[in-house]
Amino acid sequence: MSVLDDYMVHPGLSLLDKTRIQAQVLVPLLQALRAELGRQRADAIVRQALRDWSKQVFAAVGNGVDGGPRRKWAAMHTALADVTEREVTVEMRRHDAEALEFDVTACRFAEFFRALGEPDLGALLICETDFDIVAAGAGEVGLTRDQTIMQGAPRCTFRYRFAPR
Amino acid sequence: MTDTSDLPISHLQRRKIEGRVLIPLVETLRQKLGDEVAGEILDATIRRLAVGDGQRWAETYGQGMEALKRVAEDVWAGGGGMDLQVKGQSEQHLDFDVTRCGYAEFYQALGLAVLGYRIHCNRDHAMVTGFDDKLELSRSQTIMQGADHCDFRYRSRS
């Protein structure tokens, strides 16, 4: 059992495969929207819809975890790491009571969405999730991430900060 | 687009995974664009995907009524996605009823049967044109719409 079982829908499927299935219907719909509305408006509507959806999904998951913000974040962060770690290469830089800092130097999610020519969709479905999970740790966990591979950078720079206990 | 047909999950599971993200997106589209425009864009997209599914299944299963029956039994009903009863079959026709539908149960449980019809049932006509354009489907009722069974009736145009 994982706190993300419902989010994953099917326990035997990897997050990358789940996201590939969703992209198969989302990309044609996005293309149809762009043809009808123009790229800027279509992308803005999809962005808002997927951000709102993702925030709601992870807020609901967080509500189901017992404990304070730090504990909620930790439970969700660990569960997400369990389903993403096979797709990424991580260089740990710092892990102590005050901070967790690591770089992702290779990412199959980014490879997939960049090959499709839809990195913004990939960011909405994958990268933004980290901030929705941080929201569950509000006040006790913060994240800055200046760049991501999905955006075209050579590495993603995850810098978590923890409030003193 | 990268093919995902090799993944070891049922067709129903695949549709549920799609639905997780498609349903909230369609809801936003309806709010922003109105029912009519959102519906037209959704229908066109689903039709395009369904034609592609039909073409892909024809490559795997072949064309004609026997191949179509295998698609229904192996793909749609695979893993308990639905129960279907074949009522009659020849080279010219294939009649079957769906007596339980996991796809309808999924959308009905969310209170979204109208959207479920649009996303799911509506694609069956377009699928046939991609699968074998000599075949056509008529269907007077579906479980998604509240009937006790769906009556799939395929006929060969020739």
Percent of chain A exceeding pLDDT 90 equals 88
What's the CA gap between A55 and A131, in Å, rounded? 9
C-alpha A89, offset from chain centre:
16
- Whether B148 is in a domain gets the answer yes
pLDDT tier for residue B3 given thresholds of 50, 70 and 90: low
pTM of the model: 0.91
From B123's Cα to the closest Cα of chain A, the distance in A is 13
SS3 A149: coil
Which of the listed ranges A13-17, A82-86, A87-91 does the model predict with the highest average pLDDT?
A87-91
CB A68 within 8 A of CB B48: no
- Whether B111 is in a domain gets the answer yes
- Give Cβ neighbours of residue B73 (< 8 Å, ≥ 6 apart): B84
CB A145 within 8 A of CB A130: yes
Domain residues for the domain of B72 are: 11-156
Instruction: State the average pLDDT for chain A.
Output: 94
Residue B2 has a pLDDT of: 54
Strand partners, B48: none
**What are A110's two structure tokens?**
């980014």
Residue A5 has a pLDDT of: 83
- Residues within 8 A of B (CB atoms), A 50-89 only: 50, 52-53
Residue A2 has a pLDDT of: 81
What's the CA gap between A20 and B1, in Å, rounded? 9
Q: Cα separations (Å) of B134 from A98, B57, B129?
A: 68, 15, 8
What's the CA gap between A72 and A3, in Å, rounded? 10
3-class secondary structure per residue, chain B: CCCCCCCCCCHHHHHHHHHHHHHHHHHHHHHHHHHHHHHHHHHHHHHHHHHHHHHHHHHHHCCCHHHHHHHHHHHHCHHHCEEEEEEEECCCEEEEEEEEEHHHHHHHHCCCHHHHHHHHHCHHHHHHHHHCCCEEEECCCCCCCCCCCEEEEEEECC
Preferred mutation among A10, A50, A83, A125 to probe B, highest tally of B CBs within 10 A? A10
Question: Closest-CA residue in chain B for A36?
Answer: B41
Q: Is the dihedral of CA A30, A34, A39, A44 positive or negative?
A: negative
Could you read off the pLDDT of A103-161 as tens digits, one per residue?
A: 999 999 999 999 999 999 999 999 999 999 999 999 899 999 999 999 999 999 999 99
Q: Do A52 and B8 touch (CB under 8 A)?
A: no
- Whether B2 is in a domain gets the answer no
Contacts of B8 in chain A (CB under 8 A): 12
Residues in chain A: 165
CB B27 within 8 A of CB B112: no
Contacts of A108 in chain B (CB under 8 A): none
Residues of B with CB under 8 A from a CB of A: 1-2, 4, 7-9, 13-14, 16-18, 20-22, 24-25, 27-29, 32-33, 37, 41-42, 44-45, 48-49
Question: Closest-CA residue in chain A for B26?
Answer: A49
Kind and range of the H or E run holding A71: helix A69-84
- Give Cβ neighbours of residue A117 (< 8 Å, ≥ 6 apart): none
Residue A49 has a pLDDT of: 96
Vertex A53 angle, CA A51 and A58, to 5° = 95
Could you read off the pLDDT of B97-120 as tens digits, one per residue?
A: 999 999 999 999 999 999 999 999
C-alpha A46, offset from chain centre:
16
Contacts of B17 in chain A (CB under 8 A): 9-10, 13, 18, 21-22
From A43's Cα to the closest Cα of chain B, the distance in A is 12
How many CA atoms, within 13 angstroms, populate the side-chain half-sphere of residue A145? 24
Instruction: Sketch the domain layout of chain A as residue ranges.
Output: 5-162
- Whether B59 is in a domain gets the answer yes
Has residue A23 got a pLDDT over 70? yes
Residue A3 has a pLDDT of: 86
**Structural domain tally of chain B?**
1
What is the CATH code for A5-162? 3.30.1380
Residue of higher predicted confidence among B1 and A43: A43
Asked if A33 reaches chain B (Cβ–Cβ under 8 Å), the answer is: yes
Q: What is the CATH number of the domain that holds B103?
A: 3.30.1380.20
Nearest to residue A118, comparing CAs of A91, A87, A151, A93? Answer: A151
SS3 A128: coil
This complex has an ipTM of 0.89
Could you read off the pLDDT of B22-80 as tens digits, one per residue?
A: 999 999 999 999 999 999 999 999 999 999 999 999 999 999 999 999 999 999 999 89
From B8's Cα to the closest Cα of chain A, the distance in A is 8
